[in-house]
Structure formats: C-alpha cells, structure tokens
A and B are shown apart, each in its own frame.
Chain A
C-alpha cells in the first residue's frame, strides 16, 4: 500500500443542506501534500476553496471523506493547524503583543513567562512588527494587521499553516511586500502551507504547487501544476524565467479558458 502523505485529503465531499435540497460544494477531492510543501489553491469565487481550507482547519466537517495530518485524523479545529484569516481576525481589545501572546499561551505548554514573551517578540520580528507590539489593531494599517495575523499563526508552531486569501484585501504594493515576508519566513521555517488565492502571480511566485479547482457546485481539482523554480525566489528574477512564464500561462489558461468564471459567462 502507498504511504500516506503528511497532509492527505481522501475523498472529501462537502454538502450543505439548503432550502432547495442538498448543495454539493466539493466532490470527492483527493489531495496529498508533503511535509514542507507550499501549495496554492486557486479557483474562481464560490468554487469551494474556502470550504476545503475550513475542512482542513476543522471548522467545517466534511460530509464524506477523511483528512489525515501526519497520520492523525482531523476532526476538530486545533492550534496545530493555524489559520491566517483573510480579514486578519485580530482581537481589537488586545494589543498586537497580547494577540500573539494569546496564541502562544495556548501552544507553548511548559515554557516560562519570559520564554513565551521572547517567543512572541521573535515572531513579531519575523514579520517586522516589533515596533508596534504595544499598539492595538485599530491603530494599524491593513498590511500591518495581516503581518500580525501571520505572526500569530506561525507563533503557534503549526504542523500545517493555512492561509485563507491572506492578502485579498490589500493593495498591490502592500501585497507584494507581504508576499516577500511570507517567502522569507518560508525559507527559514519550511512550513507546510496551504494557501488560498485569487492571484495567479501570487500563486506561482509563492507556491511549489498550484492546485486549480473547477467551478462549483461539486467542485473538483482540475489541474495540479508543480512550479519547478528553485528557492529562494526573487520577484524580479523569476519574471524572466521560462518555468515561471509556463506555470503562469498554464494557470491563466485554466482559469480563463477551460474553466471560465461562471458569472462572466452569464454576463
């Protein structure tokens, strides 16, 4: 029998009851992710990307199928699968430091107070946010908030890092800066990452694999393209690289030719 991957989604089907009967969001999805792999999940709005990510996070229960993480069955949310939410979801009544601290306190059992504080600061340093440790989220820009969101997630030392369109709400320049932060962190920590995105360049630049989903309902995995670019990647170097162009080409073709946006077809 084949050895199971680090993160393995096996025959995941998610159905929601609605007024007009059962709505099938995801149809028998199979996905295997190796340890240390950075996988981008791309597809049109409403194709069930978030549902898939929520299933891995344990926030949504699949109707059928099982998710294995390092051999363990995933059936509830937990800090071993940290999530970077699209809307950052920082608690506005806590400072930046306290927000990260809350996550650290839940995951760093056995560490002393000073060690935890250092760990919080170390993670804020990774996203270059130590200067704002005492500020509250309301005082920060969108990009800074998402940096803190990333720090909170990686501070939990997750077995897999889930990112739900982390930069979707940011402007192009801020987004590029944060992509660089993520690449830097990935080079240092080599996390297993599952990231949802709408952005073709983001997917190809950051990911080792781009998993493309067909349009819902009953979305499936349409194509699975490996991006064979060596790391570390530099934004300005890869744009002239043939592999980058090929991968980009493949994703764009998938999204805009083979599986066009359903709302665009309707219009």
Chain B
C-alpha cells in the first residue's frame, strides 16, 4: 500500500493493480463505433415558448378530451335507439337546450330572481352561497376543536369517541333534528352543511397537531417559546398540510350534503332543481344538473387545495 503511494508520485497512474506500468504504452485504437457514438446530435433549435406551452397543455388535456368523446360516443350508441328509456347525449342536447344555453337566466350581477324561474347557474349560485356560510362555520369551529383535542389528551379522550360516532351519521339523518331546532328551511340547510363538513376538519387537524414531530417540540422547548409563539410559529405551520386535507374533504362533503338537503326542502338551489326536474319527468335536465354539480364540486376542491398550497408556502 505504502509502495503504491510513493510510486504514484513519480510516474503517471498505472493501470489496475498487478499490471506493470510499461504496458500502458501500448496504444489500443479507440473503436470506430464508439467514436461515432460520442458525436453529439446538433441541439434542436428551441421552438417558440408559446408553442412549447401549447404542446404541454395539449399533452395534458387531449387524453381527457379523447376519453370524454369516447364515452359520449358509447353512450350515444347504447341509448340512441328510438325505444331507449334513457336519454342519449343528443337527446339531452335537444330537449334541455334551453337549460344548457341559458344558465344565467334570471341572474344579474347583484341578485338572483325570486320567482323560481331561474337558470341552472342561478340555482348553483344559491347553493354555493349556502355552502359558503355552512362550510365557513365548520372550517373555523372544526380547526379550533381539532387543535383542542390534538393538544389536550384529556379533551381527546373525552371528545374523540363522540366525534367518531357522530361523523358516521349521514347528512340526511340530521335533517329532522335540524328542522326541529331551526324551524326554517334556510338555517337548517346551513346547519346540515356545517354538521356534515366539520368532522373531517376536526379529525385531520387533531391528527396534524398530534403528529408535530418531537424535534420541533424540542426546539420550541429549548427556545422557551410561550404558548402563543408556539401556536403561531410551530403548531400552525406544522399542521397546515393535515388541516387542508380535512378542509378539502370537508368542502366535498358539504357539496354532497347541500344537494341532498335541497332535494328535501325545496324552493331554490341545485338540489331543488334536480328534484323539480325529476317530478316534471325532465330526465335530461337532471343530467345537465349532474354535470354542473360535478364541475362545481371539482372546482371547490381545487380552490381549497390551491389556498392550502399558498398558505403552506408562507
């Protein structure tokens, strides 16, 4: 070992151990094929940045568009017959033409018509308003309760079994109770959303607080952070990802609940619209409503996820 080190100072590095230094003078021709492999292809001229973006966009959207088109085609082929008892896409388009092309009937920037003759977007907006109120309550109260049971072992033992039981109660089962408490359709719908959406918010926030790594708690202890500093500097940032998981599930559940609630209570909203179209045997209108509900629910989920990313970054 020592000998190898001393020789390496005077002569250029020899080959692998055991090969005498002077054999390295034999020149082995470099294979032609290898040389050609080492010639690089000319770098392609960069295409216009807008073009690159368009390509990326098309790559992301085209598969979905293709799939939707294929599904519509299959649906049309299956239900296109004259004696089919389920409407085909073309039939939906012709029979619910008015609903599809005039969603904003009766809706202005400031108000939604009161007389019931409202386009589908009007119903959606009414429902969204209710969701916004009910969901806000469940977000605020849910996060507060989640932090409480995440932080205090006593509160956890006292409340967690309760929450675990209550969260399995389906939204509609709350309706009679809700109506009994509030007597009116409006507040009881909002309560229904609140009581449906709050559980995932509570439980995920609590899990987030309980899972704050020991390392961060130790840092807080060594720095002697007071409870308020600990809350703002450690607990909130460490819990945000869990919290927003709960808030995302919550917003989805509140959207589920409102449709169910409005179907029973009637008057306005997208749930009422579906119930109404069913009673009027306008199945095509129901299909249009389903598409709207799906898209709006998807949007709500994306909005909450986006807010979560923004909050987690700051």
Contact = CB atoms under 8 A, between A and B. Distances in A.
B97 interface: no
B215 interface: yes
A77 B238 CA distance: 21
Interface in A64-113: 77-79, 81-83, 85, 87, 89, 91, 93, 102-103, 106
A79 B224 contact: yes
Interface in B204-247: 215-216, 218-219, 221-225, 233-234, 237-238
Contacts of A245: none
B305 to A, nearest CB: 18
A81 B218 CA distance: 12
B312 interface: yes
Contact of A59 (B221, B233, B234, B312): B221
Interface string A233-263: 0000000000000000000000000000000
Given A78-B224, A106-B223, A85 B218 contact: yes
Interface of B: 215-216, 218-219, 221-225, 233-234, 237-238, 312
Contacts of A58: 221
Given A83-B218, A102-B223, 14 more contacts: A57-B222, A58-B221, A77-B221, A79-B222, A81-B222, A82-B222, A85-B219, A87-B215, A89-B215, A89-B219, A91-B237, A106-B223, A106-B224, A156-B223
Nearest to A58: B221
A106 B222 CA distance: 10
The majority secondary structure among interface residues of chain B is helix
A93 B237 CA distance: 7
A106 B221 CA distance: 12
B223 A103 contact: yes
Contacts of B238: 93
A83 B234 contact: no
Contact of A77 (B222, B233, B234): B222
Contacts of A77: 218, 221-222, 224
Contacts of A87: 215
Interface of A: 57-59, 77-79, 81-83, 85, 87, 89, 91, 93, 102-103, 106, 156
A167 B219 CA distance: 18
Contacts of B219: 85, 89, 91
18 contacts: A57-B222, A59-B218, A59-B221, A78-B222, A78-B224, A85-B218, A85-B219, A87-B215, A89-B215, A91-B234, A91-B237, A93-B237, A93-B238, A93-B312, A102-B223, A106-B223, A106-B224, A156-B223
Most buried by B among A82, A91, A103, A156: A91
B216 A79 contact: no
A219 B238 CA distance: 36
B233 A102 contact: yes
B222 A83 contact: yes
Contacts of B222: 57, 59, 77-79, 81-83
Nearest to B214: A89
B218 A106 contact: no
Contacts of A57: 222
A79 B223 contact: yes
A87 B218 CA distance: 12
Query: What 9 A-B pairs have minimum CB-CB distances, sorted nearest first?
Result: A89-B215, A77-B221, A93-B237, A106-B223, A89-B219, A77-B222, A83-B222, A78-B224, A79-B224
Nearest to A85: B215
B274 to A, nearest CB: 43
A85 to B, nearest CB: 6
A89 B223 CA distance: 12
Contacts of A85: 215, 218-219
Contact of A89 (B216, B225, B237, B312): B216
A156 to B, nearest CB: 8
Contacts of B234: 91
Nearest to A158: B222
A85 B312 CA distance: 25
Contacts of A93: 237-238, 312
A85 B219 CA distance: 9
A59 to B, nearest CB: 6
Contacts of A91: 216, 219, 233-234, 237
A28 B224 CA distance: 28
A89 B224 contact: no
Nearest to B237: A93
A3 B238 CA distance: 46
A89 B237 CA distance: 14
Nearest to B236: A93
B5 to A, nearest CB: 16
Nearest to B221: A77
Contacts of B312: 93
A78 B226 CA distance: 12
A263 B216 CA distance: 31
Nearest to B229: A106
Most buried by A among B222, B224, B234: B222
B238 to A, nearest CB: 8
Nearest to B314: A93
